Amino acid sequence: MEAYYTAAFEKHADTVYRLALARMKNKYDAEDIVQEVFVRLIRSGKQPSDEEHLKALLIRMTINCSKSGLTSAWRKNTVGLDENLHTNEQSRDVLDAVLRLPSKESTIIYLHYYCGYSVEELSRILGCTSGAAKTRLFRARARLKKDLEGVEL
Amino acid sequence: MFKDDFKKQFDDISLDRDTKERIKATLEGVETKAKKQKNPAVPWRIGFAVAAALAIVLSVALGHFSRLPSIAPEISDKETVLIRSQSYGDIYKALEEIRKSQMRDEEEITYEYDYEYVEESDDLATTTPTTSAVAGAVGSTESMSDSAADGSFKGSSAQSYTEKPEANGEEEYSETNVQVEGVDEADIVKTDGKYIYNLRDDTVKIIEANSGSPRLVSTIALPLDSERYYFEMYLSDNTLIVLGSVYKKFGSSIVTDRLATMDMVVLEGDTEFIAYDMSDPASPRLIGSYSQSGEYNSSRMIGGRLYILSNHSVSLNNMKKDDPKTYIPTLTNGKETVAMAPECVMSPSCGFENASYLVVCSFDAKNAELISSVSLLGSSDTVYSSTQNIITATARYDGEKEHRQYTEVSRFSLADGDITYKGTGMVPGYLLDQFSIDEHNGYFRFVTTEDVYKEIQGTTAKGEGSSASSSTQKVTDGESTASYTVGSDDAVTDNESSSVSKYIKYTVTTQNGLYVLDGELNPVGNVSGLAEDERVYSVRFMGDVAYFVTFKQVDPLFSVDLSDPKNPKVIGELKIPGFSEFLYPYGEGQLLGIGVETDDSGRFRKGLKLSMFDISDPANVTEKDKYVLDNAISSEALYSHKACIVHEGKNLIGFTADFKSATAKGNTYVLYTFDGGFKELMRVECDEFSPKRGLFIGDVFYIVSAHSVHAFSLSTYAEIGAVAF
């Protein structure tokens, strides 16, 4: 593996994993998607020099990979992973609430609050109109707010 | 703060070291394709120009947000009339107008997404009732139909299940769970009763069911030139159709601006399908492919005719007047790319604000040939199709005046592949999903949830405590939704002497309604204002009756009589704990709900729930039986109807379930039957694989995962065969 991809994996694997998790709701599929995304990146031969570009590319690839439902051909069935998803059992209320959202909403919440993308940027990255992105964010927030009772969003 | 907690808690999640190492080891073996493109094909100068221009787009769009409750107007004139374009020149001119207006209107980017807007005058302190206002029942999501997860199940009221005639010795088998009988929907797994087709990434595995001893007969390696993603497929008379996106210029330029980066990543996407002749499943033969501009949204297959809907954005700054392909959606048949004819492009008579197109094309599946194409300036979120019409719906805001949400709906008649645009209308509120739309006897019906903003002006006296407040509070029990009603003005005058502060407050409540439109999408009748502070969770139209579930704490199942389209009437309401995310007709006078059981407060989720409603008297619906899967926290069945099998003929209900206690690495597949009460037939813990779909052929049930097909006997429920690949 070229040094570029090794570095890209080290730097962005978790970003991809978290997004995949937000969409797939289980770590099993999310891990598959991480692998699939990086396999695709390497296969494409693309090496964006700009970090933002690389990140956006990976996010878009993650969304596309998790859209197609079934996961990677490269996945091995032998991995034993019994650890809990969370290391810190005490404070996972927000996380759980986000994971309970339907994929489209958890995706937009993750990209907006965690990755810091604006609505306009989200519309680009999700390939929808800014109106649709707004609606989605609006509903996701409303649902979260209700779920978390009174949390300031 | 939510944001901080969220970040912190999400930071806690990471790939564990072993998994990381395993993936890295796999990546070591991956080679860059030979056809590696030498870095940027596009000179960076151009990239830069795009960047600059897009920055402007951003500032305009976000400019709206700095105003009031942060809901931007998208179109102000609801009475939009669409007209056939006369020439490319007309369309170009209109798009130019958009571009110019965006250039003119430069505003600072301040992105505030706050529901609550409090305008203070004087030194209003914090005495204003703090409203957690908005919160409430607004949410919903399934509606922005994930294009890929856009589903299917059978038949409105009819017993839709495809029961294949056993006449010629063929066994009965299950098909994709679709909304309307005769209108197939794409999915990742398809079967023709003999072979199971499994789409995963860039391969299709063809597995012979072989009466419970499945075996792999062939594999289609889908094309991988340029960046491609495959989403779902159809199987029709030995023709396999695989739908995907192709990004021809994916990430191929150097850009410095973040937004331009997004643009490069996304804008170039086309929707493509590839057709294979499967007459001999052992050796699939490529028929051809076709692509249309835009991101894949949804599709349907009706009698061998394939309908594909995509959303295409125009890159306003790359338009060239004498090259229509730069601003008109294009169609590519494998050899050449042509811009759609101007008369196929419908544009609003009064100009439009979004430089995007909804592209609808029909194809003859058998030979992968285009039949007709129509494009509309606009876009679509939710797609419904009967055998005669496609309805597209897009969420809109009217932010300037009333902060109201509405949904723009358009109709296209199909006529065996000949698509004709028939008109656009609107309904208040937003839709949940494709099941919120229905066609019956020439009328189109919509169930929506609406967020209603209330502007509240009031005054608060400083230092006088609560007695001085002019607002009376009405907080709904225990919920974060609160609505405030303004007290009489007298209260204010009483306190004139003390320092009085004025405030304007916006609160949001939700309500639900059902709207009936005619063939031209003009309003005919409605029943609205239902279930305040709740939102729609699931909808099912069954001929003259519509059923829908709203939820806050308990789950009212409404029955609405639609026999007089001008005067829909609520005729029944059943309240039970929990909610149903999907409703499926299940035999005579029965409606199956798949959803979630909650405790009485509506907050704690106990597990997945199956409900069987007796609807033999729509005015008096009862819950016949329910079955709660304790500790089952999630299921794809809550998000996509395609993920379940609901087969009344064979009396089978199956889906994957994710149990909280899962030490299992994969998911669990559960299968039920209903005979007066629910009975669990199988609970298969899938340690080594993640089940995705279940189907039956004859007396064998197959659980299909990304890497395997497992066969179970429907008499003993024991595993009788499996194939891994």
Closest to A136 (Cα-Cα) out of B646, B497, B395, B293: B395
Of these ranges, A81-90, B56-65, B481-490, the one predicted with the greatest mean pLDDT is: A81-90
Other beta carbons less than 10 A from residue B3's beta carbon: 14
How confident is residue A124, by pLDDT bands cut at 50, 70 and 90?
A: confident
Helix (H, G, I), strand (E, B) or coil at B238: coil
Radius of gyration of chain B (CA): 27
pLDDT band per the 50, 70, 90 thresholds, residue B266? low
Q: Which residue has the higher pLDDT, B509 or B231?
A: B231
Q: Residues near B40 by Cβ (< 8 Å), separated by ≥ 6?
A: B47, B252, B253, B254
Please list every residue in chain A whose beta carbon sits closer than 8 Å to the beta carbon of residue B605: 100
Contacts of B61 in chain A (CB under 8 A): 119-120, 130
- Average pLDDT (B514-518) is 94
H/E segment holding residue B204: strand B203-208
| B266/A124 touch (CB, cutoff 8 Å), yes or no | yes
Question: Minimal Cα–Cα distance from A127 to chain B, Å?
Answer: 6
Residue by residue, DSSP assigns B42-100 as S-HHHHHHHHHHHHHHHHHHHHGGGSTTS---S-S-S---EEE---HHHHHHHHHHHHH
Tens digits of residue pLDDT in A72-104? 333 333 222 223 344 444 467 778 788 877 778
**pLDDT of residue B503 exceeding 60:** yes
Instruction: Tell me whether residues B2 and A152 touch, CB distance under 8 A.
Output: yes
Question: Measured between CA atoms, how close is B591 to chain A, in angstroms?
Answer: 24
Which chain A residues have a beta carbon less than 8 Å from that of B245?
A: 64
Here the ipTM equals 0.81
CA–CA distance, A117 with A139 (Å, rounded to integer): 17
Exposed (0-12), middle (13-18) or buried (19+): which is B555, by Cβ within 10 Å? buried
Label residue B177 by pLDDT band (50, 70, 90): very high
Q: State the best of B1, B3, B4, B13 to mutate against chain A, taking most chain A CBs within 10 Å.
A: B13
Query: What are B668's strand-pairing partners?
Result: B657, B685
Nearest to B639 among A83, A103, A134 (CB): A103
Residue B6 and residue A121: Cβ atoms within 8 Å? Answer: no
Q: B451 with B514: CB under 8 angstroms? A: no
**Could you give the percent of chain B with pLDDT greater than 90?**
36
pLDDT at A110 over 80: yes
DSSP B260-306: HHHHHHHTTEEEEEEEEE-SSTTS-EEEEEEEEESEEEEEEEETTEE
Residue B403 has pLDDT above 80, yes or no: no
Distance separating alpha carbons of residues A6 and B313, to the nearest angstrom: 34
* pLDDT at position B661 over 70: no
Is residue B7 a contact partner of residue A107, using CB atoms and an 8 Å limit? no
Residue B678 has pLDDT above 90, yes or no: yes
Question: Which region among A17-21, B144-148, B188-192, B561-565 has the lowest average model confidence (pLDDT)?
Answer: B144-148
When pLDDT is cut at 50, 70 and 90, the band that residue B61 belongs to is: very low
Check residue B618 and report its DSSP letter. Answer: T
Q: Is the pLDDT of residue B350 over 50?
A: no
Q: What is the pLDDT of residue B401?
A: 47
Nearest to B108 by CA among B76, B65, B69: B65
Residue B32 has pLDDT above 90, yes or no: no
Report the residue from B24, B72, B201 with minimal CB separation from A72.
B201
CA distance B272 to B260: 24
Task: Give B377's contacts in chain A (Cβ within 8 Å).
Answer: none
Count of Cβ atoms closer than 10 Å to residue B370 Cβ = 14
Q: Residues of B with CB below 8 A from A5's CB? A: 27
Cα dihedral sign, B320-B325-B328-B329: negative
* Beta-carbon count within 10 A of B151 CB: 27
- Does residue B168 have a pLDDT over 60? no
DSSP tag of A112: I
In tens, the pLDDT along B244-257 reads 888 766 444 444 45
Q: What pLDDT digit, counting tens, does each position of B587-606 carry?
A: 889 999 999 888 776 667 78
Longest dimension (CA), chain A: 48
Smallest CA-to-CA distance from B550 within B154, B138, B153 is with B138
Cα angle A118, A122, A127 (rounded to 5 degrees) comes to 160
User: Is residue A138 within a helix (H) or strand (E), and if so which, with residue range?
Assistant: helix A130-148
pLDDT tier at B275, thresholds 50, 70, 90: very high
Comparing CA positions, the residue from A149, A70, A12 lying closest to residue B14 is A12
Instruction: Give chain B's mean pLDDT.
Output: 74
User: Under a CB-based contact definition with an 8 Å cutoff, are residues B634 and B656 in contact?
Assistant: no
Write the CA distances from A133 to A107, A111, B403, B418, integer angstroms: 11, 11, 17, 32
Are residues B361 and B372 in contact, defined by beta-carbon separation less than 8 angstroms? yes
Average pLDDT over residues B4-10: 80
* Paired residues of B454 in beta bridges: B507
Are the C-beta atoms of residues B552 and B571 closer than 8 Å to each other?
A: no
Residues facing B669 on adjacent strands: B656, B684
Q: Map tokens 């209320």 to a residue.
A: A93
Cβ-nearest to B706 among A38, A70, A119: A70
Please tell me the distance from the alpha carbon of residue A110 to that of residue A116, in angstroms, as a whole number: 8
pTM of the model: 0.72
B267: closest CA among B574, B584, B42? B42
Shortest distance between the Cα of B103 and any Cα of chain A, in A, equals 16
Residue B642's CB is within 10 A of a number of other CB atoms, namely 26
- For residue A75, give the nearest of B62, B144, B706 by CB distance: B706
Which of B140-149, B379-388, B424-433, B627-636 comes out lowest in average pLDDT? B140-149
B231–A39: do the CB atoms touch at under 8 Å? Answer: no
* Disruptive mutation site among B27, B313, B376, B642 for chain A (greatest number of A CBs within 10 Å): B27
Q: How far is CA B521 from the centre of its chain?
A: 22
Nearest C-alpha in A relative to B256: A50
State the smallest CA–CA distance between residue A53 and chain B in angstroms: 5
* Residue A152: predicted pLDDT: 55
Chain A residues close to B453, C-beta within 8 Å: none
B-interface mutation test, from A16, A53, A76, A144, most B Cβ less than 10 A away: A53
**Mean pLDDT over the full length of chain A:** 74
List of chain B residues whose C-beta atoms are within 8 Å of the C-beta of residue A79: 18-19, 22, 665
On the CB side of B47, how many CA atoms lie within 13 Å of its CA?
20
Of B9, B203, B250, the CB nearest to A73: B203
| Confidence at residue A1, expressed as pLDDT on a 0 to 100 scale | 79
Give the separation between CA B391 and CA B384, rounded to whole angstroms: 5
pLDDT of residue B354: 63
Contacts of A88 in chain B (CB under 8 A): 9, 12
Nearest chain A Cα to B114, which residue? Answer: A153
Task: Flag the least confident range among A89-93, B193-197, B388-392.
Answer: A89-93
How far is residue A21 CA from its own chain's centroid?
A: 6
Please state the φ and ψ torsions of residue B234, each to the nearest 5 degrees: -130, 155
- Check CB contact under 8 Å for B36 and A129: no
Backbone φ and ψ of A46, nearest 5°:
-80, 140
Between A78-82, B37-41, B328-332, the lowest mean confidence (pLDDT) is in A78-82
CB contact under 8 A, A134 and B71: yes
Place of tokens 């021809």: B248
Among B153-157, B196-200, B341-345, B612-616, name the one with the lowest average pLDDT. B153-157
CA distance B57 to A124: 11
Q: What angle do CA B1, B2, B6 make, to 5 degrees?
A: 120
**Nearest-neighbour CA in chain B from A77: distance (Å):** 6
Distance from CA of B365 to the nearest CA of A (A): 21
Q: Which 8-state DSSP code applies to residue B105? A: -
Residue B564 to chain A, least CA–CA distance (Å): 33
Distance from the Cα of A108 to chain B's closest Cα (Å) equals 11
